Amino acid sequence: MKKSRIFYIIFHFIFLIFYCLYADSWPEPPDYDFYAHPLLEVSNADDIFMLGKVLNTVEKQGQKETLNIKLLNGKIVKAEKYESEVPILTKKGTPVLLTQNKSEKTVIVDYDRSSYLSILAVLFILAVLIVGGIKKLTGLTAIGAGIIFVIFIFLPLILRGWSPLFLAAISVILITVSVITGINGLNKKSISAIVGTILSSIFVMILGLIFYPLANINGFSLEPVQMLNYFSKNYTSFPFEKFSELLISILLIGATGIIIDVAVCVASIMEELISKNSRIARKQLLMLGLKAGREIAATVSNTLILAYFGSELIFILAATLSIKSYAQLFNNEWFFIVVFQMLAGSIGFFIAVPLTALTASFLMVKK
Amino acid sequence: MKKSILFLFIELLLCQYIFADIFCKAKVLKIGGTEIKGNAKIENVSLKIISGKHKNKIVSVKNYLWDEKNYNTYIKPGDTIVIRINETIDGKIDRVSIKGYRRDKILFLFLLVFLIVVFLTCGKKWLVVIASITVTISSFMFLLLPMLKNGHPPIIACGSVAMLIALAMLLLILGFSKKFIASVLSLSIGMLFSVLLSIIFINLTKISGIFMEGSRMLLTATRSITGWTISDFRGIIIGSVIIAALGVTIDIIVDIVVGMSALHNAKKDIARKELMASGLKIGRDVLSGMLGSLFLVFTASSIIMMTVYTVLKTPALRVINWEFFAVVLLEAFIGSLTFVIVIPITVLVSSLIFTKK
């Protein structure tokens, strides 16, 4: 009885997946101009954006279509569709994004994706709450605060001419301190983890500062860097110059999370060792901590590589399609950046093991 | 200016497919006079080719220095640079152009530094670390990228390569045992879950696939190589979700499975409920830290695009609904949701495998 129910569930699960894979639900949009980058048609700064739902079509003349839209506050307005390279397909109830400019003309510019994304966010938060419980989430909120810091303080300040490296160092220190004290409170264990993390981040930063200038890296083989250069030159009074520093700060921020993980693990193992044998000598403690830390570092050795590769898969694929020889690959700028990001971050958490163990052994044992 | 940069970019991309060309290294012998033409300064350079089939030939090249200094290659006599040779049909040098600085020496120097650090910090474990990193990187380079290039469906290509890497890593860490079977089972259920969730949400948010970061570069490239369609781009989103979350997912699965099996070995007649409770506790302890590192990697890889939005002062409502940003959010959320869901799945599967009732 029970087994058959499990099979029933599995069968439906598999059926659903196959249905999704082969359902003809992904229409091909018609031909469009590949080179007109949508960011090049910059919208007016004083446009007002709002969300709404499609009610019905008022009139349709060839490409032009006027629709009745119900706004979030219940008002009903008439709006035209924005003629873009990818047509916006609407039917009754489709959530859309509208813009209203000075001339009071309302235009549908895009789908409203935020409502579905917030459903996903709610799902995610629910899952974390159910699986993790509320107590364990202080560290996660600290990380969230760190990300908000990066987006709303770090980015505007580097566009005012502040050094990205300096700001990255500050955000790494802030994230480290708030995450570790958020999880463990302020004690010898957290202090040694914080010191270990910050020292290894400094090591990664020094590596970046040595190797990026040596290899003449400024990031201009990456499309977003070219766009940043172009837009900051034409739209702001401070053209952004420090591209190499920006790349190093990205490297630092990306590696922080996993370095913190490893450092906290090593510090808690050291604390446990002391609680088991309070008369342990410093050297012995250091040796035991190093041995346990190596196990941790070895199991997480691939994590950063996989995470970076996944989050940049499209870009890496686009760049490798044109590669025909090893001479081209190994001298490529983006290849250097990708490999450096992955491996220098990994160096960060490898080096965090001895650094944290050393700090902890000095802090926790008198002699 | 705007157009000239775009055209330069397009030309650079197209040139690589139209002409048969060879990349090789060359040494700068001397730099002749310079002339100024429009917005470019042109240096006449004579080079000695030091690698490839045209070795030891001496050629003269024009080095264009644009007023946008970041696109330029600055050279002085004695430097080694990378050049591209376009050949005529009968294999003679047709045209030579400067591609950029030489970076391979420094890359290998960095790899050496990496090896030394691994050797010093990991002690006896260094072989395992190097082996697992080599397996991962080489299966990307020699398996996944060629598979995608030859036009295999991205979901299947990414899924199978991810599974292969996972199998290799789990075998390396756990050996072939009950633990291994439990972790493989839970990992595959988790991966199916993330594929299903991605498909649902990609359809709901109507992501077309052409506005992702780098997807225009990819489109330009694929047009002349394989018969890719836009729907494959949506497949790549799913592939990247699977791969990005794979590392942390394997870590947490190994943590839970090892802990639960140790507990079961210590106390053979342990009740299933008790075993599950302790497995869940192990998962909870590492949850927030690993989730944080996944989020920080996603933040780091989208920092440059976010700087662009900050420059343009695009309103937040526009940015969130834009496909560029929606894709990043989607990947980050689904990746971490998979990671969270895998914890109860692993606890359930391994308790079913370890205990009889």
Output the pTM of the full model: 0.83
Whether A312 maps to a domain, the answer reads yes
A256 shares its domain with A336: yes
A72 HSE (CA, 13 A, CB side): 9
pLDDT, residue A173, reads 92
Does residue B106 sit in helix, strand or coil?
helix
Using the Cβ of B254 and the Cβ atoms of chain A, whether some distance falls under 8 Å is answered with yes
Q: Other CB atoms closer than 10 Å to residue A208's CB: what's the count? A: 23
A17 has pLDDT over 60: no
pLDDT, residue A247, reads 92
Q: Residue B164 in contact with residue B139, Cβ under 8 Å?
A: yes
Q: Residue A192 in contact with residue A355, Cβ under 8 Å?
A: no
Distance from CA of A350 to the nearest CA of B (A): 6
Question: What are A341-355's pLDDT values in tens digits?
Answer: 999 999 999 999 999
Distance from CA of A248 to the nearest CA of B (A): 10
| CATH number for position A106 | 2.40.50.140
Using the Cβ of B98 and the Cβ atoms of chain A, whether some distance falls under 8 Å is answered with no
Q: Residue A349 in contact with residue A259, Cβ under 8 Å?
A: yes
The tokens for A205 are 């930063």
Compare CB distances from B2 to A32, A40, A336 and report the shortest one's residue.
A40
- Selection from B243, B244, B10, B16 nearest residue B147 by Cα: B243
Question: What are B257-291's pLDDT values in tens digits?
Answer: 998 988 888 888 888 888 888 888 888 888 878 88
pLDDT, residue B18, reads 41
Q: Residue B17 in contact with residue B5, Cβ under 8 Å?
A: no
Does residue B85 sit in helix, strand or coil?
strand
Q: Which DSSP state fits B57? A: -
Tell me the pLDDT band of B231, cut-offs 50, 70 and 90.
Answer: low
- 8 Å CB contact of A236 and B311: yes
Question: What are B173-203's pLDDT values in tens digits?
Answer: 888 888 899 999 999 999 999 889 988 898 8
Angle formed by the axes of helices B104-122 and A188-214, nearest 10°: 160
**Residue of B13, B311, B357 to mutate for A, most A C-beta atoms under 10 A:** B311
Whether A22 maps to a domain, the answer reads no
Question: What are B114-171's pLDDT values in tens digits?
Answer: 999 998 888 778 888 888 888 888 888 888 888 887 778 888 889 899 999 999 888 8
The tokens for A257 are 């999370």
A143 shares its domain with A261: yes
**Residue of B303, B306, B330, B348 to mutate for A, most A C-beta atoms under 10 A:** B303
Compare CB distances from B307 to A159, A216, A316 and report the shortest one's residue.
A159
The tokens for A263 are 């450092």
Using the Cβ of B46 and the Cβ atoms of chain A, whether some distance falls under 8 Å is answered with no
For CA atoms B303, B308, B313, B318, the dihedral sign is negative
Tell me the pLDDT band of A46, cut-offs 50, 70 and 90.
Answer: low
A356 shares its domain with A248: yes
A199 has pLDDT over 90: yes
pLDDT, residue B6, reads 53
Domain that includes residue A69, residue range: 38-115
- The residue that leads in pLDDT, B39 or B138, is B138
Sheet holding B58-66, edge to edge: B58-66, B40-49, B21-37, B80-87, B93-101
A83 shares its domain with A196: no
Q: Which DSSP state fits A39? A: G
**Residue of A12, A15, A26 to mutate for B, most B C-beta atoms under 10 A:** A26
Whether A308 maps to a domain, the answer reads yes
Q: Residue A19 in contact with residue B201, Cβ under 8 Å?
A: no
**Residue of A314, A326, A328, A342 to mutate for B, most B C-beta atoms under 10 A:** A314
Give me the mean pLDDT over the A320-337 stretch. Answer: 80
Q: Of A115, A143, A159, which residue constitutes the final position of a domain?
A: A115
- Selection from B135, B241, B240 nearest residue A318 by Cα: B240
Using the Cβ of A149 and the Cβ atoms of chain B, whether some distance falls under 8 Å is answered with no
Give me the mean pLDDT over the A240-269 stretch. Answer: 90
Whether A24 maps to a domain, the answer reads no
Residues 228-257 on A with a CB inside 8 Å of B are: 228-232, 234-236, 240, 243, 246, 249-251, 253-254, 256-257
The tokens for A316 are 């890496």
Give me the mean pLDDT over the B229-248 stretch. Answer: 82
- 8 Å CB contact of A258 and B293: yes
- 8 Å CB contact of A314 and B104: no
A236 shares its domain with A300: yes
A193 shares its domain with A99: no
User: Which ipTM score applies to this complex?
Assistant: 0.84
Q: Of A87, A115, A143, which residue constitutes the final position of a domain?
A: A115
Average pLDDT taken over every residue of chain B: 82
Q: Residues A179-197, buried b or exposed e (16+ Cβ, 10 A)?
A: bbbbbbeeeebbbbbbbbb
Q: Which domains does chain B have, with CATH numbers?
A: 20-102 (2.40.50), 151-354 (1.20.1640)
pLDDT, residue B86, reads 78
Compare CB distances from B293 to A28, A29, A261 and report the shortest one's residue.
A261
pLDDT, residue A212, reads 92
The tokens for A281 are 């000598």
Q: Residue A250 in contact with residue A322, Cβ under 8 Å?
A: no
Residue with tokens 């007002």: A48
Q: Scanning every residue of chain A, which has its alpha carbon at the shortest distance from the alpha carbon of B347?
A: A131
Q: Is B77 exposed, middle or buried (0-12, 13-18, 19+ CB in 10 A)?
A: exposed
Tell me the pLDDT band of A25, cut-offs 50, 70 and 90.
Answer: very low
A70 backbone φψ class: left, alpha, beta (φ>0; ψ -120 to 50): beta
- Selection from A178, A153, A190, A181 nearest residue A168 by Cα: A153
Whether A262 maps to a domain, the answer reads yes
Q: Which DSSP state fits B48? A: E
- 8 Å CB contact of B217 and A315: yes
A105 shares its domain with A162: no
Whether A17 maps to a domain, the answer reads no
pLDDT, residue B224, reads 55
Whether A13 maps to a domain, the answer reads no
Tell me the pLDDT band of B322, cut-offs 50, 70 and 90.
Answer: confident
A276 shares its domain with A141: yes
Using the Cβ of B164 and the Cβ atoms of chain A, whether some distance falls under 8 Å is answered with no
The tokens for A219 are 């990031």
* End-to-end Cα separation, chain A, in angstroms: 65
Overall number of domains in chain A: 2
Whether A26 maps to a domain, the answer reads no
pLDDT, residue B94, reads 78
Rounded Cα distance between B325 and A134, Å, is 29
Contact residues on chain B for A131, CB-CB shorter than 8 A: 280, 283-284, 287, 340-341, 343-344
Q: Scanning every residue of chain B, which has its alpha carbon at the shortest distance from the alpha carbon of A262?
A: B289
Average pLDDT taken over every residue of chain A: 80
Tell me the pLDDT band of B17, cut-offs 50, 70 and 90.
Answer: very low
Q: Cα dist. A316→A233, B143, B216, B308 in Å?
A: 27, 14, 13, 20
Contact residues on chain A for B136, CB-CB shorter than 8 A: 302, 305-306
pLDDT, residue A208, reads 93
pLDDT, residue A26, reads 39
Does residue A282 sit in helix, strand or coil?
helix
- 8 Å CB contact of A20 and B200: yes
A252 has pLDDT over 60: yes
A210 has pLDDT over 90: yes
A147 shares its domain with A106: no
DSSP lists the bridge partners of residue B237 as: none
A81 shares its domain with A151: no
- Selection from A358, A314, A324 nearest residue A222 by Cα: A314
- Selection from B289, B286, B288, B282 nearest residue B263 by Cα: B282
Compare CB distances from B102 to A49, A113, A331 and report the shortest one's residue.
A331
Question: What are A84-95's pLDDT values in tens digits?
Answer: 666 777 777 788
A230 shares its domain with A164: yes
A97 shares its domain with A146: no
- 8 Å CB contact of B322 and A110: yes
Tell me the pLDDT band of A359, cut-offs 50, 70 and 90.
Answer: very high
Q: Other CB atoms closer than 10 Å to residue B92's CB: what's the count? A: 9
Contact residues on chain A for B121, CB-CB shorter than 8 A: 294, 297, 350-351, 353-354
Residues 177-216 on A with a CB inside 8 Å of B are: 179, 183, 207, 211, 214-216
Question: What are B67-89's pLDDT values in tens digits?
Answer: 777 778 888 888 888 888 877 77
Question: What are A89-147's pLDDT values in tens digits?
Answer: 777 778 888 887 766 677 887 888 888 899 998 998 888 888 887 776 777 788 888 88
Q: Which DSSP state fits B38? A: T
pLDDT, residue B344, reads 92
- 8 Å CB contact of A257 and B221: no
Q: Of A68, A84, A115, which residue constitutes the final position of a domain?
A: A115
Give me the mean pLDDT over the A203-213 stretch. Answer: 93
